[in-house]
Amino acid sequence: MNDVTTVERPAGLVADRVIDYDLYAPDGIEHGIHAAVLRLRESTPHKLVWTPRHGGHWIVLSGIDVHQLYADHDRLSNEVNVVPPPPNSPPLGALSYNPPAHAEFRALLNRGLSARAVRDREPDVRALTVALIEGFRTRGHCDFAAEFAAILPLSIFLGMVDIPLTDRAMLQALTHETTHPSPGFDAEEFLQRFWNYLLPLVQARRAAPRDDMISDIAAGTVFGCPLTDDEAVGACMHLMIAGLDTVAAFVGFMMKYLAEHPDHRRWLVDHPAELGPAITEFLRRFPMVTGIRKVARDFTYDGVTLRAGDMIALPTILTNLDSAIYPDPLRVDFSRPAGKQTTFGNGIHRCPGSPLARLEIRVLLEEWLSRIPDFEVDPDRPVQFAGGYVGTILSLPLRWPV
């Protein structure tokens, strides 16, 4: 997967557009995914570069263009979302389909992720948030990544799909390997493992539906026809991969920032009614997804002809941290007007789970800051980061006075 010497370069590619960048393990990841991606952008004057890693793919480095290209389903297809493209990969529901099929598969998620369904989840989110915090509050320290971020979003999600919590560790490990691939990662193998886990669930829910999102998909129709097993399992894979990792990654970055910036932390404690704009600003400041698209038809961008079948990476970090869009973009400013963001994507494939994510973030801030208003990163224990399609924090040691 990483043998860059055997990868054929695109015809006519000039040398200064070639950058040895590994999105799974980028240089500088020890300082976090944001620093690593910004370092890449600053290394070249081009808006488009090519890396021989993972089969060879393009990377867009203009924040404004990343935002626009996320919504360009005419020239960029969602049918493949990993590099290198696996030889056999089932379509992953709404994530993989372009119009008109996309709307049909997206509709299967609407009931479970509607505004009413998300509101109904708040008591469960709050109860688990409080229980987790109280489980470590009196000892004065925790690893936030392992003891909170890895548990709350995943547990809430498993309730929405009616999967037992006993499967949480296995699913967490499987999803982590999918979004943060290790050397030797075989995408087809891991998708097969998801398939083997989900197929019996889909078949059981089709035979005896429950009040959950997997049942909605299993019993759903597309263009008036029942979903095949392939379609239903693929749609559930999308739901699982999207639902198990992104919120956990985001809240780690947010809490690290608050631990290191007491003025922002105290402002939130003193202004609890202003959490909405603050969450919007945190979401702007800490995007962490690099989306992968397949070029659907030839087109020219930044003086380069992209060919149908080429793979291209779109780092969301570059939109939200683009100084042409946001002045002083690295600064967190709770009064900053909302603008273009790609934290949840853009266009028809924008993440349908964003209302649930905002709920979990709000409840976390409300309950944590009311119980642990003063905390810091433990200077004696290292923060550990990981790259991948979803950049994340693997370990975030926090401490506070008791």
The pLDDT, as a whole number, for residue 110 is 87
Q: Is there a contact between 259 and 145 (Cβ–Cβ < 8 Å)?
A: no
Rounded to whole angstroms, the Cα distance separating 291 from 313 reads: 6
- Residue 88's pLDDT is 74
> Rounded to whole angstroms, how far apart are CA atoms 344 and 292?
14
pLDDT, position 4: 66
334 within 8 A of 267, measured Cβ to Cβ: yes
377 and 259 Cβ atoms separated by less than 8 Å: yes
Contact in structure between 315 and 342 (CB atoms under 8 Å): no
Cα dihedral sign, 321-324-329-334: negative
| pLDDT tens digits, 221-271 | 999 999 999 899 888 888 877 766 789 999 999 999 999 999 999 999 999
CA atoms within 13 A on the CB side of 186: 6
Give the helix/strand (H/E) hosting 236. helix 229-243
Domain ranges of the chain: 4-399
Q: What amino acid is encoded at 141 in this protein?
A: H
What pLDDT sits at residue 187? 73
Residue type, 96: S
Residues of the chain with pLDDT below 50 are: 1
What pLDDT score does 244 carry?
67
Measured between alpha carbons, how far is residue 168 from residues 188, 204, 240 in Å? 22, 20, 11
Q: Which of 252, 180, 168 is nearest to 26 (CA)?
A: 180
Residue 346: per-residue pLDDT = 93
Nearest alpha-carbon partner for 249 in 398, 81, 390: 390
**Per-residue confidence (pLDDT) for residue 96, from 0 to 100:** 86
Provide the sign of the torsion angle of the four alpha carbons 340, 342, 344, 345, taken in this order: positive
pLDDT score, position 48: 98
The DSSP line for 6-45 is GPPPPTT--GGGB----TTS-TTGGG-HHHHHHHHHHT-S
Beta carbons of 248 and 356 less than 8 angstroms apart: no
The domain 4-399 belongs to what CATH superfamily?
Cytochrome P450 (1.10.630.10)
Q: How many whole angstroms separate alpha carbon 221 and alpha carbon 198?
A: 18
CA–CA separation, 297 vs 291, rounded Å? 18
